[in-house]
Amino acid sequence: MDILDTIKQQIEENDIILYMKGSPNAPQCGFSSRTSQAVMACGQRFAYVDVLSNPDIRTHLPKYANWPTFPQLWVKGELVGGCDIVAELHETGELKQMIDAASPAAE
């Protein structure tokens, strides 16, 4: 399986997935920290991929997503965006609605 297939599979198999630098409990950059805090504040389980320990994903995901930077939040197969977009959605309450609706517990 090539790396693009792996990325596609990760996005398809996880309703909520965050590609970030580090982990939610140990983020390795400020943008990843702010984004993971916003997602965690929504109170639902989500998957994450540390792009620092997955250099192939770090290299190829920006091309796959047509989004150049990390973090990247994907919900139900759609790219939501990076730190600024996620933070704005969190402030308005839209992020929680989006994540609650996508959570397997909501089905």
Rounded distance between C-alpha atoms, residue 20 and residue 51, angstroms: 6
Rounded distance between C-alpha atoms, residue 24 and residue 39, angstroms: 9
Amino acid residing at 88: E
Q: Annotated binding residue at 42? A: no
Residue in the block written with tokens 């965050």: 18
Rounded distance between C-alpha atoms, residue 1 and residue 68, angstroms: 23
Q: Annotated binding residue at 70? A: yes
Mapped onto helix, strand or coil, the DSSP state of residue 92 is helix
Q: Annotated binding residue at 8? A: no
Q: Annotated binding residue at 5? A: no
Q: Annotated binding residue at 29? A: yes
**Pairing relationship of beta strands 26-27 and 22-23 according to DSSP bridges:** antiparallel
Q: Annotated binding residue at 31? A: no
Q: List, as residue ranges, the binding site.
A: 21, 29, 58, 70, 83-84
Q: List, as residue ranges, the binding site for glutathione.
A: 21, 58, 70, 83-84
Q: List, as residue ranges, the binding site for [2Fe-2S] cluster.
A: 29
